[in-house]
A and B are shown apart, each in its own frame.
Chain A
Amino acid sequence: SEFAIRQADTMKSLRLLLVALAVVTAVLADHHEPTHDEIIDQLVESANKATHAVFEFEHKLDLRLDPARIARAGSLRARVQAVEEPSCPEHAHQCGEDDPQCISDLFVCDGIKDCRNGDDEKHCELPTKAGDTFVGDLVFDHCTKRRPDHMTLVIESVTTPAYFTSVPELHVHIEVEKETDSEEIEASLPAEGIFSFAEDKLIVYPPEDDGLGLVGTFDGYNVDRFVGDIIHTASRETCARFIFHRKH
């Protein structure tokens, strides 16, 4: 019987051992130590999340600084300024609203700062560079010879004399196409012109002997659009209008 008791005892101890082993395995399984790969994956994931947050913030900043948005706001301001009484006399340029000052048109973009805030030398990039093409859509027309629905202005070349940079000289072509029932008219008229930085104006001298010139007015902010008025150069009377857009 003593043997039986000892056997039972051993069995009991073995059972205890098994239970202990089971507990140890359970505890080990519970505290599953992440492997190195998993730790690195977690690290990479949190780095990606941080990068995403940074990009999102950067996007928010970019939305505020969007140049297209600034140009749109500027165009709106230009419309208000057009409604207002002119704040400078004729042939004078307004330096800017935070520090209003009038200087002669001839001093704008001449390479020397004349405004206290330097505004006259800040916006001197020519919107009509050699090779640029603008397509104009008809608004009204009481005077042109061909009465076209569209006209195209091609800037052939630009010459800026080094000693007089405020009024670059342009050589352009005005292309006109018109289809009528009886005939198809096509014309490419070479002409000379100037760009005035002070007024943001493009002036094309009459290409033909009818005395009709083109005056293109940019709003000062949007470089892709201008209002093109056909005027009698003698009377300065506007008799036709086209809205020109840059052809990309």
Chain B
Amino acid sequence: SFGYLWQRQVSTIAISVTMWYVLLLVGLAAAATDPYKERGFKYIVSNQKLHINQLLEELHELEEKFEKLSPDVDPKDVRHIRARIHSLEHDECPRHQGQCGGDVPQCINDLLFCDGHKDCRNGRDEDPEVCSEAVTHVGSSYTGLATWSSCEESRPHNAVVTITASQRKDFFPARIWVRAVLSFEIDEHTHRITTIPLRGYYNFGRRALVLGPERGQKAIYGVRCHFDLGDDDHATCHIVNPASLHECGHFTATRY
């Protein structure tokens, strides 16, 4: 049995040697033919990688420095500034006329804005931005701190104009007829609120919301809002006497 064991051991060793020999062959085949060439190649590759990483790092540093600079101006602010400059500039349009805007100034009657016919030479009177109905969407609310110069003896307080109904007639699209309410606080201790129903229209050419007393109501107040800040969300509003248009108070309104 000793002989058998010995024989078995030898055959196992022989087999394991064969195995290692095969392994070596496989390993050599797997490795590239020339180890020095391979190392040179890897050297160049890793250096190139390092170089790229360094460039990316430098770029990242620059980007961080750039981020620290003041950010770009909000286009909305630029629009407001433009609109404010425009309102300071001498507007040559006579009464009941609106400015076509654009590069070549032209005035046309405000009854011709948004009526479906191009009346401005540049067609601005039918521009979707000019003819936006967003101002009169039902539920639109414009609020601001009202300061009174007459009519009402009270400290500055919030006033709100809310559109409750609007209608645009097919045969006369130059106006949008609206109903609205004006509310403001008349007593800051008891929070008593006055609500005045109004009706009127929106004028595209002059970008004005003109409101007077509702039918059958006492003619106390009217409201005129000018959307002259370059968008549909900000307006300069005046609370006026509906007959004389004498100004009672004013507020700078923001849609909310």
Contact = CB atoms under 8 A, between A and B. Distances in A.
A139 interface: yes
Nearest to A63: B72
B4 A2 contact: yes
Interface stretch (A76-84, A118-126, A189-197): A76-84
Contact of A83 (B49, B85, B103): B85
Contact of A13 (B15, B23, B103, B105): B15
Given A10-B11, A83-B88, A36 B59 contact: no
Contacts of A139: 104-106
Contacts of B23: 20, 24
Nearest to A244: B104
B151 interface: no
Interface string B106-121: 1000000000000001
Given A53-B59, A139-B104, A76 B45 contact: no
Nearest to B23: A24
Contact of A53 (B8, B56, B82, B89): B56
Interface string B65-91: 010000010000000011001001100
Contact of A57 (B49, B62, B103, B106): B62
A28 B30 contact: yes
Interface residues of B, number: 34
Given A80-B85, A83-B88, A137 B12 contact: no
Given A21-B22, A79-B85, A243-B104, A9 B52 contact: no
B89 A83 contact: yes
Nearest to B7: A6
B28 interface: no
A137 B121 contact: yes
Contact of A47 (B15, B52, B59): B52
Contacts of B243: none
A36 B30 contact: no
A245 B102 CA distance: 13
B66 A57 contact: yes
A13 B49 contact: no
B55 interface: yes
Contacts of A25: 26
Contact of A9 (B8, B26, B55): B8
Interface in A1-27: 2, 5-6, 9-10, 13-14, 16-17, 20-21, 24-25
A13 B11 contact: yes
A36 B4 contact: no
Majority SS of interface residues in chain B? helix
Contacts of A10: 11
A17 B66 contact: no
A239 interface: no
Interface string B18-41: 110011001000100000000001
A24 B22 CA distance: 10
Contacts of B63: 57
B124 to A, nearest CB: 13
Interface string A29-53: 0000100100110010011001001
A50 B49 contact: no
Contacts of A33: 30
Contacts of B106: 139
B150 interface: no
Contacts of A54: 55, 59
Given A43-B48, A76-B81, A13 B12 contact: yes
Interface of B: 4, 7-8, 11-12, 15, 18-19, 22-23, 26, 30, 41, 45, 48-49, 52, 55-56, 59, 62-63, 66, 72, 81-82, 85, 88-89, 103-106, 121
Interface of A: 2, 5-6, 9-10, 13-14, 16-17, 20-21, 24-25, 28, 33, 36, 39-40, 43, 46-47, 50, 53-54, 57, 60-61, 64, 76, 79-80, 82-83, 137-139, 225, 243, 245
Top 9 A-B residue pairs of the complex, sorted by shortest distance between their CB atoms: A13-B15, A243-B104, A137-B104, A83-B88, A79-B85, A50-B52, A20-B19, A17-B19, A46-B52
